[in-house]
Amino acid sequence: RERERKAEGGRDQREKEGVLRHSLHQFCFLAGADITEVSTREGDDAILPCALDSPVNLKDEAFDWKKEPQEVFFYIKGKDYNNGREGQDPQFVNRVGLTQGGLQAGNASVVLSSVTQADSGVYKLPRPPAGCGCPASPE
């Protein structure tokens, strides 16, 4: 019981501090981990991770981050929502982008800036980059 109370107290403290929990369905790590949990404070940035084990250039590939039913980030051969592509959910406009230099190193991770409570939830990559050797997440 004491252990349960301590666990409860820790969770209450995190909630008071504004820590958000994001369960991210992760289908790019070949090690087999298909769920990654990311925690951050409200107002901070969060990285939605997706990296290949080998440095394959993803610049000419396509991938799609979603928070059902919302469109978070879609990339195809150099175009994304930050440079001419339309269709992104208004909640994520001007708040999601690729990690610096990531595509050339096999990294399709994106940064979600200024996280809010509304950003909590499950993020999926139903259309992972080609060559990652992993299945698409179920819809």
The answer to whether the beta carbons of residues 65 and 130 sit under 8 Å apart is no
Q: How many CB atoms lie within 10 A of CB 13?
A: 10
Give the chain's end-to-end CA distance (angstroms, integer): 39
Q: Is the pTM of this model over 0.75?
A: no
Query: Tens digit of pLDDT for each residue in 4-22?
Result: 555 555 555 444 444 444 4
Q: What is the CATH number of domain 2-127?
A: 2.60.40.10
Query: Tens digit of pLDDT for each residue in 59-100?
Result: 998 888 999 899 999 998 888 888 767 899 999 999 999 988
Domain positions in the chain are 2-127
Region of 134 (left: φ > 0; alpha: ψ -120 to 50; beta: rest) is: beta
Q: Which alpha helices (H) appear in the chain, and where do they start and end?
A: 2-16
Return the ∠ at Cα 46 (arms to 45 and 48), rounded to 5°: 150
Res 85: pLDDT? 79
